[in-house]
Amino acid sequence: MDRDIETLKGVGETIAKKLGVMGIYTVRDLIYNFPRRYEDYSVLIPVAKITPGPVTIEAQVKQIKGRYVRRGLHITEAVVSDKTGSVRLVWFNQPYRAKATKTDSLYFISGNFEMGRGKQAIMNPNMELASSFPINTARIVPVYRETKGLKSATIRKVMANLAEDIDKLPENLPTNIVKEYELSSHVQSLLGLHFPGSTNEIEVARHRQGFEEIFALSLAALLVKKENDREKALPVPFQEVLARSFVKKLPFDLTDAQRKVIWQIYKDIEKDKPMNRMVEGDVGSGKTVVAAMAALMAISEGYQAALMAPTELLARQHAESMYELLESVGMHREVVLLVGSLKPAEKKRAHERIASGEAKLIIGTHAVISEKVDMHKLALIIVDEQHRFGVEQRQKLQKKAGHMPHMLSMTATPIPRTLALTIYGELDISLLDEMPPGRKPVKTKIVSPNEKARLYKEIDTELERGKQMFVVCPLITESDTLKTLSAEVVYKDFTEKTFKHRKVGLLHGKLKADEKEKIMSEFASGKLDILVATTVIEVGVNVPNASIMLVEGAERFGLAQIHQLRGRVARSTEQGYCYLLMTDSSAPTRRLRAIEQSTDGFKLAELDLEIRGPGAIYGRSQHGQLDLRVANLTDVRLINAARSAAHDFIEKGEKLAKYPELAAQVKENQLVTSLN
């Protein structure tokens, strides 16, 4: 399975390189590169019975010839026939066709029969010599992901050469599980996906592979949990008087949800078993104060706490918030900011304050905190805008500190329950499912291209009032294939035309970190009126003065993602506006209507999961992504079955090492999920 694909028959250097582009390097990668879809060409019909649509025939080639119609357009035409009649075949730009085809030989031919302007033909058919093992025709033909210069047909051929090897693979799940859950065998399912004999076979195979995926994911999570439960943490006792006086001095009343979550956290950190908890709450639900209250207990006990943010800017904002919040109980001097851009003297001073124990709540970016801090007394780590803290990072910290810190992660991405239980099975989850009172729901509107000009006028009035606007585009630069506007194009239009009297900034992922920070802080401080960006702003900063979120090419975003973006302008009691710009008037708006009508992040996330699959929620473009190949995360029965199988596996004390293929999968899951 770990063999390089170049060792395979039919895979030379060129093909190997192209497969590499798609992330396929080993035989295992190849085998798990399941078809994206299938074309059913399994039913052979007589030529006389051909009707428009996909057809497969077995016929003799009577004549075939190719010619250039004009420069760049080559046409090959053939006539083939069987006992019942003959039919025309047409290929575009396949000049090799005619030479490669033997007249009078019997071929399988599969393709779409089209009737156009009096001319009828099977267009661009697949064709191969009739045999008992057809690859591209006369069967349910798998369609694989393609890349430039690598066609599905090539992958089919490589897979065909591999079929015998697949047949010899051992079972990779415990046999009692295969039996109990009535799964098809490992081999059956792999063959069923790559060489299906029927559509039913595909379904059965998918079920088994989906089970396996969820099983491995659950196992990965459960093993982490088990390991975590064995670790020792510093118990942080609950001090009621302190908590009460902190709450009393807040400028607002805590929501019931905040109270509940804070209580869950206090219960956890009292124990010497490390907490591993994720707080899920929409943007603006008030996670910061929850973090502050957790940190408060730890530092007042004389321990250290760390608050890690994904960006420096966010870290700075957190430091300010924490300073303000803790001032009321006289603990603000314990806050220290640790980010890369501090001047050497400032940095030195920060480290001194940490070393002397004067500063105990360390706020910064991941890298800075985990590398340079003396962590002997680190009792609590809070990670903001992250789903979890990676396994490896945890192990590192544990080694450094001599104990395992309590972990609290906070995320604004609503994650549907089934998904959360599966991929975050090692975490306890708290929901902040209530917004502070007085928030006005963001006014959300779908806007078609012809309404744009009027909208821009409306927006300018709002900007004139001193408000600010985010603009989010699906792409950085122009693309030939996608018609939607890129951030660069919008930026150009705004600065040169539409909003040339305003100050406009451009922010995207290709900028260097310090450039990003600079532009972001200019926007945050009000120096810029408009920030044109890609989704990099999704995770983020608090700019209460920004009241407009404009989403270009809205149909290209997931619902959960738009909801996240919208949250950026829902942070104060002022009215926020979210405009969803469609690329063209005919673009599908049905899905987006849901977001016009609902402000419930969880509901939208569920819907997203149903429509787009888990990658959409998890952000497939970033690393740390969850890349489920087959499992359908809305299939609750499958998920429950696979999870309970994983529980049994652990309970029975089964050894993962006995199942090397499974172990590899589990390990991969732990790596993937921990990068994030």
List residues binding ligand ADP (CB under 6 A): 252-255, 258, 281, 283-289, 412, 436, 542, 571
DSSP labels for 507-552?
A: E-TTS-HHHHHHHHHHHHTTS-SEEEE-GGGGS----TTEEEEEET
| Sheet strand arrangement including 546-551 | 443-447, 577-581, 546-551, 468-472, 530-533, 504-507
C-alpha 497/C-alpha 68 separation (Å) is: 46
CB of 396 to ligand ADP, least distance (A): 27
> Which C-beta is closer to Mg ion: that of 383 or that of 581?
383
DSSP labels for 45-92?
A: --GGG--SEEEEEEEEEEEEEEEEEETTEEEEEEEEEETTEEEEEEEE
**In the complex, which residue's CB is closest to ligand ADP?**
286
Sign of CA dihedral 661, 202, 29, 224: negative
CB of 311 to ligand ADP, least distance (A): 14
Instruction: Please name the helix (run of DSSP H) or strand (run of DSSP E) that holds residue 226, with its range, or none.
Output: helix 199-230
595 half-sphere exposure, CB direction, 13 A CA radius: 30
Binding to Mg ion, residues 279-308 (CB under 5 A): 287
Residue 392: which of ligand ADP, Mg ion, none does it interact with, CB under 5 to 8 A by kind? none
Size of the chain in residues: 676
481-519 burial code (b ≥16 CB/10 A, e <16) = eeebbbbbbbbeebbeebbeebbbbbbbeeeeeeebbeb
CA distances from 500 to 302, 494, 495, 523, 579 (A): 54, 6, 5, 17, 20
- CA angle (610, 612, 614) in 5-degree steps: 80
C-alpha 581/C-alpha 456 separation (Å) is: 11
For the chain, count helices (H), then strands (E).
24, 20
CB of 572 to ligand ADP, least distance (A): 7
DSSP summary character for residue 104: T
CB of 289 to ligand ADP, least distance (A): 5
**In the complex, which residue's CB is closest to Mg ion?**
287
> Which C-beta is closer to ligand ADP: that of 253 or that of 458?
253
> Which C-beta is closer to ligand ADP: that of 64 or that of 539?
539
> Which C-beta is closer to ligand ADP: that of 285 or that of 418?
285
Residue 613: which of ligand ADP, Mg ion, none does it interact with, CB under 5 to 8 A by kind? none
Count of residues touching Mg ion (by CB under 5 A):
1
Among candidates 299, 265, 300, which has minimal Cα distance to 281?
265
CB of 317 to ligand ADP, least distance (A): 8
> Which C-beta is closer to ligand ADP: that of 317 or that of 444?
317
> Which C-beta is closer to ligand ADP: that of 76 or that of 317?
317
> Which C-beta is closer to ligand ADP: that of 228 or that of 255?
255
CB of 264 to ligand ADP, least distance (A): 16
CB of 283 to ligand ADP, least distance (A): 4
Residue 446: which of ligand ADP, Mg ion, none does it interact with, CB under 5 to 8 A by kind? none
CB of 422 to Mg ion, least distance (A): 25
> Which C-beta is closer to ligand ADP: that of 285 or that of 561?
285
> Which C-beta is closer to Mg ion: that of 123 or that of 541?
541
- CA angle (622, 572, 257) in 5-degree steps: 75
Give yes or no for a contact between 507 and 532, defined as CB atoms under 8 angstroms apart.
yes
CB of 545 to ligand ADP, least distance (A): 12
Name the β-bridge partners of 123. 90, 112
Task: Give the strand pairing for 119-129 and 304-309.
Answer: unpaired
Residue 542: which of Mg ion, ligand ADP, none does it interact with, CB under 5 to 8 A by kind? ligand ADP
Task: Give the strand pairing for 276-281 and 106-116.
Answer: unpaired
Extract the tokens encoding 529: 């009126």
> Which C-beta is closer to ligand ADP: that of 286 or that of 505?
286
C-alpha 207/C-alpha 245 separation (Å) is: 55
CB of 387 to Mg ion, least distance (A): 14
Give the binding site for Mg ion (CB under 5 A): 287
